[in-house]
Amino acid sequence: MRASTRREMLEGPAGKIECAVDEPEGRSARGVALVAHPHPLYGGTLENKVVQSLARAFVDLGYAAWRPNFRGVGASEGRHDEGRGEVEDLEAVIAHLKVSKPVLAGFSFGASVQTRLAQRIGQEGNAPSRMVLVGLAVKHLEAMPVPADTILIHGEEDSTVPLADVLAWARPQDLPVVVVPGADHFFHRRLNILRAIVGNNWQRA
């Protein structure tokens, strides 16, 4: 956690939602990036290294990065809800911030929750400006397409979510997948590459 990171407690549908917030220094944020963490039942929290790396990438790009703890994690109240209530948690953060066209990003379970959130807020007229999905858990996402400019990043050696499954999910959408050679699910020793991929692709967008 960076020294400049602050904690916020917001009201959510299951009680308080704990958030870590990082903002660019010396300038106004160009927007809000909402970053979602991996599966709570397997140790996922807002402190996850991939999630922190995504937040830092967005701060470098000029965004305010918000990392909520899903219900039942850390100081967030409530209980794990298999991805259903977690979508509501993220939507509550967006509502609190009164942000339009947010950037949505997530890792593993968090990435799959973000795809559900994108579909919901898109139907409400507030589609995300862009998405970054890392190590996407695709098991239950067959009917959930994402925007064509989504940055989808996966590790070549991911044994938690096989690369073949992600390619099969992306193929019908003609969605490119950025594959990091030798990277496992948690991008050990590849976090700097992860940040560079986000930054380089954003600048070309």
What is the number of domains present in the chain? 1
Angstrom distances, CA of residue 156 to CA of 44, 135, 164, 194? 21, 10, 9, 13
101 found inside a domain: yes
List the structure tokens of 201.
Answer: 């692709």
Task: Give the DSSP letter of residue 172.
Answer: G
128 found inside a domain: yes
Q: Interhelix angle for 109-123 vs 84-97, to 10°?
A: 60
Write out the residue range of the structural domain in which residue 97 sits: 6-204
CATH number, domain at 97? 3.40.50.1820
1 found inside a domain: no
Q: For position 144, what pLDDT does the model report?
A: 77
112 found inside a domain: yes
53 found inside a domain: yes
Q: For position 196, what pLDDT does the model report?
A: 97
CA-CA distance, 163 to 161, in Å (whole number)? 6
Helix (H, G, I), strand (E, B) or coil at 43: coil
Q: For position 4, what pLDDT does the model report?
A: 86
Which residues of the chain are modeled with pLDDT < 70?
1-2, 143, 203-205
Q: For position 143, what pLDDT does the model report?
A: 65
Instruction: Determine the distance from the C-alpha atom of residue 162 to the mean position of all C-alpha atoms in its chain, rounded to a whole number.
Output: 19
Q: Which helix (DSSP H) or strand (DSSP E) does residue 9 occupy?
A: strand 6-12
| In the block, residue with structure tokens 């073949």 | 164
Q: For position 9, what pLDDT does the model report?
A: 98
Q: For position 141, what pLDDT does the model report?
A: 80
| pTM for this entry | 0.95
Q: Interhelix angle for 49-60 vs 191-204, to 10°?
A: 30
CA-CA distance, 77 to 95, in Å (whole number)? 18
